[in-house]
């Protein structure tokens, strides 16, 4: 083999080697790419917008190929995931870790079915046993939300197709008021001698003893109108609301009057024989009850028919004035015997509890959610009574407050209307410490007192007006 031939063979061999090496590289490189180490391509290597979903074949990337925390929430731009492209069942509750948060406004509430959020019907959030947040809280929130009227309930909780009915238990416990603000408002001409006062969610109503009528007063504007009661000189002494109608206890006629709260039209229902001179009136969520002063008994009245049943107070209880409901039982404040009677609303059976020494002549009675309180007319003090045991503790009113008659609760404090000193006393329910507040000029002889959710109101008997405090 000469030199020339050797050179030609070397050139051909080299070219063949290069060709084979190039072929090996062409075949091997994709395989190497497939087995490349994790994170061989990181996010910094992909320019923004370089890869779009159109560049990825169907099922090209599966969730099993995406490592834990490979995609972080702050790497996903707003609107980068279209909800319309997420199929039903693609995200399950087991895929969302505890404590995961969805920022405000990230879910459009329109069309959202609240019942699907936790598997419970939305009605579960409206039950008495369910403690709501501050906006809707019933017990712990000192405010408006505990005191919704039907109109407020409709506006705050309901769509047009989901309207709530009044909660009669809240109404009976006087814990359902609207929110309203110090002024003295004269009753219209023809209304004199107001004694009882009650709230219907928008208006205050007074029972005008001397003129045998009632006055309806708008709690926000002070606009007022009188409604004559049927039956002539029937002398209404006290007034209460049942969620739709006002009721008066008529002292002279031994009757009650049911008054339509919208129209003022009233219907009288006589009490059963043996019920004399009703002075106190209260609602238990289903029936109206009156305390009959001169017959030492109470009457339970069906609000639909007006039919009544009398229940005698136990021996040793006479001259009941005030009456109030604790959610389970009715209680009367018995003026001449200086005790209270707890009455089972189903059976009418009562048990007497004596007030502590130093408490006498109870007139008004009210419930604070845990205890009954009496305003003791003859002793210038109040008594706080445990509703389970009947044991009471007296608290003296501050100097300058005498003859407490009416008593009412504002959600945190008890208030008394002090008849002869023309003032009211605000009493801390935990400590019993009281503070007096003078009535504005021109208001004297306060009897009844009631709360509208923001203000206390008194019915001023001798000056024929009401005071909003």
Identify which has the larger pLDDT, 55 or 188.
Answer: 188
For 177, the token pair is 């008021």
What are the beta bridge partners of residue 373?
366, 384
Return the CATH fold of 183-468. Answer: Methylamine Dehydrogenase; Chain H (2.130.10)
How confident is the model at residue 78, as a pLDDT?
54
- Domain range list for the chain: 183-468
CA distance 176 to 189: 31
Q: Average pLDDT for residues 424-434, to the nearest whole number?
A: 97
CA distance 148 to 162: 16
| Confidence band of 136 (pLDDT split at 50, 70, 90) | very low
DSSP 412: S
**Element counts in the chain: helices (H) and strands (E):** 4, 28
CA distance 383 to 218: 32
For 91, the token pair is 């995200």
Q: Average pLDDT for residues 439-449, to the nearest whole number?
A: 93
How confident is the model at residue 411, as a pLDDT?
92
Is the dihedral angle over the CA atoms 319, 337, 358, 344 positive or is it negative?
Answer: negative
- Check whether 120 has a pLDDT greater than 60: no
Identify which has the larger pLDDT, 442 or 339.
Answer: 339
Continuous segment of H or E residues that includes residue 4: helix 3-34
| 3-state SS, residue 156 | helix
Is the dihedral angle over the CA atoms 294, 297, 298, 302 positive or is it negative?
Answer: negative
Question: 429 to each of 82, 369, 456, how far by Cα in Å?
Answer: 56, 10, 16
Torsion of CA 224, 225, 231, 236, to 10 degrees: 0
How confident is the model at residue 442, as a pLDDT?
84
pTM, to two decimals:
0.67
Question: 149 to each of 156, 200, 207, 239, 282, how far by Cα in Å?
Answer: 10, 9, 22, 18, 18
How confident is the model at residue 329, as a pLDDT?
98
């Amino acid at each position: 083999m000469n030199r020339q031939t050797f050179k030609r063979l070397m050139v051909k061999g080299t070219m063949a080697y290069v060709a084979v090496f190039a072929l090996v590289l062409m075949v091997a490189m994709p395989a190497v790419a497939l087995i490349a180490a994790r994170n061989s391509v990181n996010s910094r290597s992909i320019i923004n917008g370089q890869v779009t979903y159109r560049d990825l074949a169907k099922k090209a990337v599966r969730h099993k190929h995406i490592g834990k925390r490979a995609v972080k929430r702050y790497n996903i731009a707003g609107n980068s995931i279209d909800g319309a492209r997420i199929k039903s069942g693609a995200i399950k509750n087991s895929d969302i870790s505890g404590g995961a948060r969805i920022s405000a406004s990230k879910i459009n509430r329109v069309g959202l079915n609240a019942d699907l959020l936790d598997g419970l019907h939305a009605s579960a959030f409206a039950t008495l046993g369910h403690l709501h947040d501050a906006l809707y809280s019933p017990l712990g929130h000192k405010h408006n939300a505990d005191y919704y009227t039907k109109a407020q309930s409709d506006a705050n909780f309901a769509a047009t197709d989901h309207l709530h009915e009044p909660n009669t238990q809240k109404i009976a416990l006087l814990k359902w008021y609207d929110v309203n603000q110090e002024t003295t408002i004269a009753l219209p001409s023809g209304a004199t001698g107001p004694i009882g006062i009650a709230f219907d969610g928008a208006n205050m109503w007074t029972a005008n003893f001397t003129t045998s009528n009632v006055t309806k007063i708008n709690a926000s504007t002070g606009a007022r109108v009188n409604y004559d009661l049927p039956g002539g000189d029937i002398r209404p002494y006290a007034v209460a609301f049942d969620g739709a109608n006002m009721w008066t206890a008529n002292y002279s006629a031994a009757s009650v009057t049911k008054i339509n709260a919208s129209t003022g039209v009233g219907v009288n229902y006589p009490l059963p024989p043996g019920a004399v001179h009703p002075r106190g009136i209260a609602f238990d969520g289903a029936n109206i009850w009156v305390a009959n002063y001169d017959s030492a008994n109470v009457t339970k009245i069906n609000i639909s028919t007006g039919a009544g049943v009398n229940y005698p107070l136990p021996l040793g209880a006479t001259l009941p004035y005030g009456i109030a409901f604790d959610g389970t039982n009715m209680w009367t404040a018995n003026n001449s015997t200086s005790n209270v009677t707890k009455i089972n609303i189903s059976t009418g059976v009562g048990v007497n509890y004596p007030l502590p020494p130093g408490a006498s002549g109870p007139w008004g009675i009210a419930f604070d959610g845990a205890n009954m309180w009496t305003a003791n007319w003859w002793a210038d003090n109040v008594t706080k009574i445990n509703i389970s045991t009947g044991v009471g503790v007296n608290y003296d009113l501050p100097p300058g407050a005498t003859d407490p008659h009416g008593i009412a609760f504002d959600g945190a404090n008890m208030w008394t209307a002090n008849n002869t000193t023309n003032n009211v006393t605000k009493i801390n329910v935990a400590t019993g410490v009281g503070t007096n507040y003078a009535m504005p000029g021109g208001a004297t002889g306060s009897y009844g007192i009631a709360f509208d959710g923001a203000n206390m109101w008194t019915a001023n008997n001798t000056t024929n007006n009401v005071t909003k405090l």
